[in-house]
Amino acid sequence: MTTERKEATKRMTKQQFGVWWRLFRPFTLTASIVPVLVGTGLAMPSTHFHTSLFIAMLLASILIQSATNMFNEYYDYKRGLDDENMVGISGTIVRDGIQPKVVLALGWISVLVALLIGVYLCTQTTWWLALIGAACVMVGYMYSGGPWPLAYTPFGELAASTAMGPVIVLISFYLQTGDITWRAALVSIPIGLLIGAILLANNIRDMDQDKRGGRKTIAILVGRQRGRVLFGSVFGMTYLLVIALVVLGFLTPWALVVLATIPTAVYVTRLYYRFTEPAKLHAAVKGTSNLLFRFGVLMFCAMIVSMIHI
């Protein structure tokens, strides 16, 4: 094989990998990783760390999020919402030629593997987790699929942020401790708020296209200006809640390190006040996802440091 052909093969392989990688929408996976980190970090001071349960839960959470992304890709295409001019990391069907049935099949395969991991987690803890896990999978599917997709209603952010925020945090906490506490429930709320902010950011960016597709998201119902206010308010509520949890003793002062993410929150909020074009707002959606990741990692580190200083 000549050098030119080798280089061409490498480029083609790289391009194909990029297409499949985009199908998973990697920057959105922070919404599946951070809740597991925070729930586990909350548990660590009071229990022995169960490595296998942590890894299994992390994989299951990522797989459910990936399946949700693939269902979204498939059903948005089927309903004619996606086209080759759309903005964002999605669109592997309309832009890259991936067969719709392949995307749907990969979504269900991800669900199947997540369920198999869930069986393992149930055998190590309780079979009640099967009901909660099934409910999370159902929310992931119904976000885009079914006769009444949540993504087409004002309740998409609330449903998804609850299932991927507090629920995953509490499951992760339970896997390590065998218990659920009010402290864990309260600390999970800021994570849910930031996950909701990612979805809201996406829906404000795409609101014009979503209107044409028949969606009635909260951003469309309240309008662009009020949507901007709501978006900024979610960040404000998140940081105020963290401060309140520290003052009330549910978190140690080390948790205030998450306030270091405030400049990013200000930056992405300003983008929504400066621009309306989807192409210019995509950076704000990615920035919100990155903010969640940094917030979660800092929160996790604060919990570890707190444990060392007990």
Residue 171 in any domain: the answer is yes
What span, in angstroms and rounded, lies between the C-alpha atoms of 235 and 205? 17
Which of the four pLDDT bands, split at 50, 70 and 90, describes residue 18?
low
Mean pLDDT to the nearest integer, 154-165 = 89
Q: What is the DSSP string of 201-262?
A: HHHHHTHHHHHHTT---HHHHH-HHHHHHHHHHHHHHHHHHHHHHHHTTSS-GGGGGGGGGH
Is residue 157 over pLDDT 60? yes
Which of the four pLDDT bands, split at 50, 70 and 90, describes residue 12?
very low
Range of the domain at 47: 24-308
Is residue 9 over pLDDT 90? no
Which residue shows structure tokens 């079914």?
Answer: 146
3-state secondary structure of 101: helix
Q: What proportion of the chain, given as a percentage, has pLDDT over 70? A: 86
Interacting residues of 163 by C-beta distance below 8 A, sequence separation 6+: 135, 136, 139, 140
Mean pLDDT to the nearest integer, 159-172 = 92
Which of the four pLDDT bands, split at 50, 70 and 90, describes residue 16?
low
Residue 5 in any domain: the answer is no
Residue 55 in any domain: the answer is yes
Say which range, 54-58, 95-99, 192-196, 263-267, has the weakest mean pLDDT.
95-99
Residue 7 in any domain: the answer is no
Contact call for residues 241 and 299 (beta carbons, < 8 A)? no
Residue 123 CA neighbour count, 13 Å, CB half: 8
Q: Take residue 218 and report the two structure tokens written for it.
A: 């909260």
Give residue 44's pLDDT. 86
Mean pLDDT to the nearest integer, 198-222 = 89
CB burial of 261-284 (b: ≥16 within 10 Å; e: otherwise) equals beebbeebbebbeeeeebeebbeb
Residue 179 in any domain: the answer is yes
Give residue 3's pLDDT. 61
Which of the four pLDDT bands, split at 50, 70 and 90, describes residue 248?
very high
Q: Number of folded domains in the chain?
A: 1
By CB atoms closer than 10 A (0-12, 13-18, 19+), residue 84 is exposed
pTM, two decimals, is 0.89
Interacting residues of 229 by C-beta distance below 8 A, sequence separation 6+: none
Query: Is the Cα torsion angle 269, 275, 278, 282 positive or negative in sign?
Result: negative
Give residue 122's pLDDT. 95
Q: pLDDT digits over 28-49, tens only?
A: 789 999 999 999 999 988 778 8
What span, in angstroms and rounded, lies between the C-alpha atoms of 171 and 176? 9
Give residue 231's pLDDT. 96
Which residue shows structure tokens 């903010």?
Answer: 291
Residue 277 in any domain: the answer is yes
Q: pLDDT digits over 167-195, tens only?
A: 999 999 999 999 999 999 999 999 999 99
Average pLDDT of the chain is 87
Q: pLDDT digits over 87-117, tens only?
A: 555 566 766 667 888 888 889 999 999 999 9
Q: What is the CATH number of the domain that holds 199?
A: 1.10.600
Residue 8 in any domain: the answer is no
Residue 6 in any domain: the answer is no
